[in-house]
Amino acid sequence: MNTYKLHFIPLGGIIGVTKNMYVYELYENDKLKDILIVDCGIGFPLEKELGVDFIIPDITYLRDKVDKIRAIILSHGHEDHTSALPYHYTALGRPPVYASKLTSVFVENKFKEFNQHIKVNEVDYAKEYQFGDFRINFIRMTHSIPDTMHILIKTPVGNIYHGTDFKLDLTPPYGHSPDFYSITKAGHDGVLCLMSDCLGAERPGLTLSESIVGQTFEDEMRKTKGKFIMTTFSSNISRIRQCVESAIKFNRKIVFLGRSMRENTRLAAEIGYLPIPQSLTAKEEDLNRLPPNKICLIVAGSQGQYGSALSKLAHKQNLHVKIKPGDRVFFSSDPIPGNENEVYTLIEELVVQGADVIYSDIADQLHSSGHGNQEDLKFLARFTNPQYFIPIGGTVRHQQQYEKIISDMGYNKDNFFLLEEGETVWFGQGKKGYKGDTIETNNIYVDAYGVGDVGNVVLRDRKTLSTEGIVFAFLIVDNMGRLTDRPRIFSRGFVYEKGENRLFEQATQLIEQITKPKREKILDVHNIEREVISDLEEFFYKERGRRPLVIVEVVQQ
């Protein structure tokens, strides 16, 4: 008789909100048989991770198991669930990819940007799919983007309900309501473990319907005398469509700012998800010829990203659009945890220019979260009635709050697994769940120059440059390591020019002491560099209380 085990491995998204990637491994008689991957998204850098554009999951664990990967499933079209796939797809063996209609369009277009090709299989909700010994049903769900899915993963060990980002929206402005029949049927048939979104676990009640926001757009646009500017995620097509419909009602010309915003809205329009009359669209360069009260701008950059379309508006870098008194800027999204400083800094810049800035801290119903509040989470737990719970897609505090509210419903706290990235869970015979070994994972940084070239040392140096400055020392030595000329020292961003002379004269004397021959044999140039760097760092800290990045170049004649 064959025995099966199921292994759950979060390679991203478990406590970082973004960079979602989840791996399910099925073992038969202790041999790895099948792998299923759910999502493959990017993460956003912290403020201290200077120069990093975004982060992608570490797939090192999977590299020697590529032949076992049966499929990749993408739950919805947000970038933190899809946009790392072009970086990893070839390394993962190019397995078949399955997604809903809008998600498929977004992903195929993302691959084109990388000069790659992929054909995503559009899912049929009425069909059960077989990937090795995994059997999969897709369940319609509501979120802040249309065509979001939950995934029922049936295995010989038991059924897993993968309930990524969701809210229970009974009146979505477009698309289908949640498929409550399939959700409750899954619970009736038996769910071994619920992987549940937990980002809204601190908020009481039910999440507002997305339709609420549409009425807010209409009410506020009616009383806006200048330009109406709305910012949200560029993939939030439902929110964008409601803003477009309000603009149509008030005969405002619609302009999309930001490459991602233009591209996503173009794709959504092509498949009928974003109908816009041609007569009410305008180009960015035509805005100077339009009266402000006839303009509606829908802008990317709601998370305060440096260089985004909204950032350029706030910093007066857009050639065609200037913020003026009477303009109203709506932040129709909340900051992702960790992005608060960037968002509030942007708000300050817009206010200084005279804009009336409206955001969720000072007004209600500007944004309806795509993540379920406590009652949404309780409903999903009760409908599926699982044996085990694993909260995903939140931070540590969200996980702990999720455990509290669900255990208050009578579920045993021993049946919760609060994981960190790389921590794994096994489900074995008798449907027993237990923690497994931790898989080593690292952040893979992506910047303008490549993937994975930025490591901790590079980030440390960038941080030092931004705060402490840099000092260069140029030394010419003979084959005994003796100076043949006085060292040359200069700096950038370290000390004011008038204060350099005395300080650098002392530093020069220190270098001369270091390079005096200590013994009658040829000295190693690299040893000289290391010793000079170490002593200069200590000297500058003692004299100025700062540790600049010290670079020493030694040339041996």
Report pLDDT digits (tens) over 137-183: 999 999 989 999 999 999 999 999 999 999 999 999 888 999 999 99
CATH of the structural domain 4-205+369-450, one choice from 3.40.50.2300, 1.10.580.10, 3.60.15.10, 3.90.1310.10:
3.60.15.10
The residues with which 7 forms a beta bridge, in sequence order, are 25, 426
- Look at the block and give the residue holding tokens 């970086």: 87
Q: Mind telling me the catalytic residues?
A: 197, 371
Cβ atoms within 10 Å of 86's Cβ, excluding its own: 19
Q: Tokens for 251?
A: 């005969």
CA-to-CA distance for 389 and 401, rounded, in angstroms?
13
Instruction: Give the full edge-to-edge strand order of the sheet including 450-451.
Output: 54-56, 444-447, 450-451
Domain boundaries, given as residue ranges, for the chain: 4-205+369-450, 211-358, 468-556
Q: Please report the pLDDT score of residue 276 as a whole number.
A: 93
Report residues of the chain scoring pLDDT below 50.
48-51, 448-450, 452-455, 457-459, 519
Of 463, 467, 486, 491, residue with least CA distance to 476? 486
- Cα–chain center distance at 322: 29
Q: Does domain 468-556 have CATH number 3.10.20.580?
A: yes
CA-to-CA distance for 65 and 70, rounded, in angstroms?
11
- Is 46 within 8 Å of 10 (Cβ atoms)? no
- Cα–chain center distance at 366: 22
Q: Does domain 211-358 have CATH number 3.40.50.10710?
A: yes
Whole-model pTM? Answer: 0.79
- Is 394 within 8 Å of 191 (Cβ atoms)? no
Q: In degrees to the nearest 10, what's the CA dihedral of 301, 306, 312, 316?
A: 140
Q: Please report the pLDDT score of residue 519 as a whole number.
A: 47
CA-to-CA distance for 365 and 360, rounded, in angstroms?
8
- Look at the block and give the residue holding tokens 């697994």: 417
- Is 116 within 8 Å of 94 (Cβ atoms)? no
β-pairing, 21-28 vs 228-231, is unpaired
